[in-house]
Structures are given as C-alpha cells and as structure tokens.
Structure 1
Amino acid sequence: MKRHARQAIGALALATFASPLCAQESADEVAKKLSNPVAAMISIPLQYNADFGYANDGSKHTLNIQPVIPASISEDWNLITRVIVPVIYQDDVFGESGSQFGFGNVTPTFFFSPKQPTSGGVTWGLGPVLLLPTASDDLLGVDEWGAGPSVLVLRQSAHWTVGMLANHIWSFGGSANDPDISNTFLQPFFARQLPGGRTLTFNSESTYDWENQQWTAPVNVVYSKVTRIGGQTMSFAGGVRGYLDSPRGGPDWGVRLVVTFLVPEK
C-alpha cells in the first residue's frame, strides 16, 4: 500500500507542476463542473483514502471507484447516476481483529436534476440512495439492504461553489445478525476556483448513526488540478483530513488522493 501511495503522490506532483495542454478556459470550466456533483459530465473518479489512529494503531485504506453518469431524460431534466464501489484493505480496525481485504457495500444514488439553474442561480437534485450488501467480509460492511432519500443543493458564482449534499439510509432487509441501520449523511462543501484549472475544496463528510447516537465527522481540505496527458483530460487531487468526532477507537486523521478520468462529450 505504501508503494502505491508513493506512486499516486508522484503522479499528483507531476500534474500539479506540469503545464496543461488544453486551453486555460477549458481547464477552468472543467474544474468548475467537477465541483458540481450533478454536472452533465461523465467522470470516473478513483478516490484513495487512508485513515489512521484506529485502536491499537490500526489503519484503513479505501479505494472508492465512483463513476458519475448523466443521462438526458427530457428537454428540461437530467438523471445523474452516482455509484460508489469501495475496495478496502484494513488492519486492526476493530482492536486486534487482524487484516481484511475486499469489497465494501456499494451505494448508488440517482439524482433527478433540472438542466438549468433556478433564476437565483441555484442547482438542485433529488432522488433515492441505495445500500447494497456487497461486502466480501463481515468486517468490511454490514449484510443489510438499505434505501432512503438524497438531496443536493448548490450555488456557483464566478469563483465559488457552495452547497450541501445529504441523504438518509434505513435498512429494510438482510441478515438478522447485523444491527439495523439508520444513518444520516451530511456533506457541506465550499470550493474556490483558481486560475489554471485549480480548485481548493473544504468539506465535511459526516455521518450520524441514530441507532448508536454517534457522529463520524471528518473535515477534508483538498487541492485539485485539471490537466491533459496525451489525449486524456484528467483531474488530480490530494489533501488531508482530521476527525472532529468518531466512534470510540475510530480514526484520528487521514489523507486523500484522487485521479478523475473525464469522458469527452460526443
């Protein structure tokens, strides 16, 4: 895992200091779209998260494969499909629990979103979120089906994107041995667009577990840059996070590296 992290950091540094091959205006526009979770643009982010400070110096490494696929369903509406497929390696996350490697639970979200912002410049989306019991190990995810509502509201100006993504998932079936799920997810985000396809983002990806009355509340600071390698437009990002609150024995801090592949419009 350390070798892969070094390779990702090297790629991030190369993209940060290399001159973009596409026009600056194009890179700026792409960066602005990437700050909008319901933008009509196909993207495939590969998001690597490493979290440290679990009980007994445990750590967790997660690669989230999270394609975003927009589809025009009418003259005025898009359907944005966002899927998160986690691949996890963890070691002593639950005390002296050893290491596990495999898939976590997949969470697809479907946003119905107007193609044009409101007269006040607000973009929004609404739809269902699902929890699929795809975890390959009991310690990588619960064996429960889940569903609930998801909503997104944001506003973009020339240099800022400010918004909130929220959902709630209730379990409705699965293994009787796993506890019920009632989780609220809140993601406020603030992104500052900078010249040259660069963005500085601040967000929190907080979850409140109503069954155990417990927050998990990380705060992320991430820097990203849009560039072109050969004929492929890509975004590279890197950042750190700290936890304002987490369950007992939970993580203290972490790092994030992201490579996003952008699919050109036909």
Structure 2
Amino acid sequence: MLSSSIQRGIVISQVLAWHFYASPVLADDSAELAKKAQNPIAAMYSLPVQYNWDQKLGPTGDGKRSLTNIQPVLPFSLNADWNLISRTILPVIDQHGLAPRGIADKSGVGDVTQSFFFSPKQPTTSGWILGAGPVLLIPTASDDLLGGEQWGAGPTVVALKQANGWTHGVLANHIWGLEGSPADDKEKINQTFLQPFLSYTTGSFTTFGINSESTYNWQSQEWAVPINLTVTQLLRLGGQPLTVQAGPRYWIESPKDGPQGWGFRVAVTLLFPR
C-alpha cells in the first residue's frame, strides 16, 4: 500500500489539477506576470507553498519524509533605485522510519531561513538582475531532531537573466553557525547552498524548468544534490493570479542517511502584483 505521505501528495496533485486546470490567465499583463513568477527577487508579493516528498532515508533506507516549505516573499522599495526583498522559508516536516523503534518519527516545524536581498530596480546594461544581502538561520524547530539547535548567519546572492522566454541564473548562500558550542549531538553549521536554475516559458504561460538545490556540508564534507524537473502553469482563480507546479526530483548525491532515488514536488504560489 502507498504510504500516507505519497497518498497526500497524490491527493494534493489531483485537487490542484481539478480546481485550476481550465482557468488560464487571460489578462494583458500575463506575460510580465509569468516572467516575474520565475524571478526569485521580483518586486512582487507572493506566497509559495511547496510540498516535497523523499524516500530511502536513514541507515536502513526505509525512511520517508514530507517537507512543506511556506515561503512568503515581501518586497520593499528603499528609494528610486533600490528594493529590499525579504524571502522566508518556514519548513513543516513529517518524517518516519529514519531510525529503529520509531524514535526519529517526528512532525513539526524546522528552522527558519530568512534572506534579505538588496536589489537594483533596473537590470544591468547586459540584462542581469542582481541581488545580495544577509541570510539568517533561526532555530525555530519544534523538536531537536528537526533542526540544528543553533543560530546561523552569512551572505546570500542571486543573479539571473531573462530573455525570449528563457530564465537562467543562480541563487547561493553560505551559513555559519553562531553558537560557540552546539548541542552535544549536533555539529556546528557550516554549509554552502547553490541553486542554479534554467526555465522556458511558452506563449500559454506554461514554464518547463530544471534546477538543483545543492548543499555542501563543510563539517562532514558531504554533498546533497537533488535535481528537480518542474512544469509550472500560470492561472487565475476568481481574479487571483497563481501558479501551480509539479514534477519529479532525483537525488544524484546524498549525505549519509540522506534521501535516495526519486521523489516529487507539488507547489502553489499565490501572486499579488502591484
């Protein structure tokens, strides 16, 4: 039988498809809206809710994990030339089978990642959209098994270019743990995150994308490298623009006891253009 996590993912996909399929966005500004939806530092309020399912975790490979990321994006105009873009990631985690006797079976919130990007309102002369600023790791986990139990901070940057339906670029950050002595069973955080991305948006505002959300742990010297393939559709529901996304993911590199093989992603992003 399918696990409850897989069943939830299938139900989510079916509900989204049933509700949103026949409601394409028809507004004249749809092309610009679809373009902004692919820009992680667009000056547009948005609320992405992203569900990820992964398998084969833990020493026995029997573990499964559902990860729902709630990711509000809030832009602030600083002056005529600069924006400040706030990006928050609040993970909601449900994991099972990672350790014997269910001792690691936990559900709750994880640590919040909070990024701030100072971004010029105009692209460079060559068309690049840039942003840079600080990133914070906030120890909000509801259980010590769901977080690092320490504060972290570091720099974050993003660079992307959009032309002729194509969007390509990279988002990166590095976080160092700020605690002098983390909990006995926790290593000090020292990790680099790299997210190269490439997508193409069609005339019907369907976007086909590929990205990797790779993390390198400098303490354990291990990579975590998933490849995500996504299809995203821009829609309108009762006048509210949104995108619906789905696609598989595959782990080409994973740390010890990390996920293996195939997983999948389903996401909905509410868009609030100014």
Which residue is 2:135 aligned to?
Answer: 129
What CA distance in whole angstroms lies between the structure 1 residues aligned with 2:90 and 2:19?
A: 25
Which residue is 2:207 aligned to?
Answer: 199
Amino acid at match of 1:81: S
- The 5-angstrom pairing of residues 211-226 of structure 1 reads 211-226=219-234
Which residue is 2:90 aligned to?
Answer: 85
Matched residue SS, 1:126: strand
Which residue is 2:31 aligned to?
Answer: 28
Which residue is 1:37 aligned to?
Answer: 40
Matched residue SS, 1:251: coil
CA contact 1:94–1:249 (8 Å) conserved in 2: no
What CA distance in whole angstroms lies between the structure 2 residues aligned with 1:121 and 1:19?
A: 32
Amino acid at match of 2:76: A
Pairwise CA distance, 1:5? 2.0
What CA distance in whole angstroms lies between the structure 1 residues aligned with 2:149 and 2:252?
A: 28
CA contact 1:30–1:197 (8 Å) conserved in 2: no
Q: Deviations over 1:1-45 (max 9, x none)?
A: 44532332113323664141532x433321211111111110000
CA contact 1:15–1:236 (8 Å) conserved in 2: no
Normalising by structure 1, we get a TM-score of: 0.94
Which residue is 2:169 aligned to?
Answer: 163
Deviation beyond 6 Å, 4+ runs, structure 1? none
- Pair 4,176 (structure 1): closer, same or farther in 2 beyond 3 Å: closer
Which residue is 1:181 aligned to?
Answer: 189
2:248 is aligned with 1:240: yes
Pairwise CA distance, 1:154? 0.7
Pick from 59, 64, 81 the counterpart of residue 59 of structure 1. 64
Alpha-carbon RMSD: 1.6
CA contact 1:29–1:197 (8 Å) conserved in 2: no
2:101 is aligned with 1:101: no
What CA distance in whole angstroms lies between the structure 2 residues aligned with 1:196 and 1:61?
A: 31
Matched residue SS, 1:9: helix
Q: Deviations over 1:46-99 (max 9, x none)?
A: 000011111331101011000000010010000000000001100023455441
CA contact 1:15–1:225 (8 Å) conserved in 2: no
Amino acid at match of 1:257: V
**What percent of counterpart residues are identical?**
47
CA contact 2:132–2:157 (8 Å) conserved in 1: yes
Matched residue SS, 2:145: coil
What CA distance in whole angstroms lies between the structure 2 residues aligned with 1:181 and 1:95?
A: 26
Matched residue SS, 2:44: coil
Matched residue SS, 1:33: helix
What CA distance in whole angstroms lies between the structure 1 residues aligned with 2:214 and 2:104?
A: 26
Pick from 229, 236, 239 the counterpart of residue 228 of structure 1. 236
Pairwise CA distance, 1:249? 2.3
Unpaired runs of at least 5, structure 1: none
Unpaired runs of at least 5, structure 2: none
What CA distance in whole angstroms lies between the structure 2 residues aligned with 1:21 and 1:54?
A: 40
- What is the number of equivalent residue pairs in this alignment? 264
Which residue is 1:9 aligned to?
Answer: 13
Q: Deviations over 1:96-125 (max 9, x none)?
A: 544100010000000000000000000000
Amino acid at match of 1:161: T
Matched residue SS, 1:144: coil
CA contact 1:28–1:198 (8 Å) conserved in 2: no
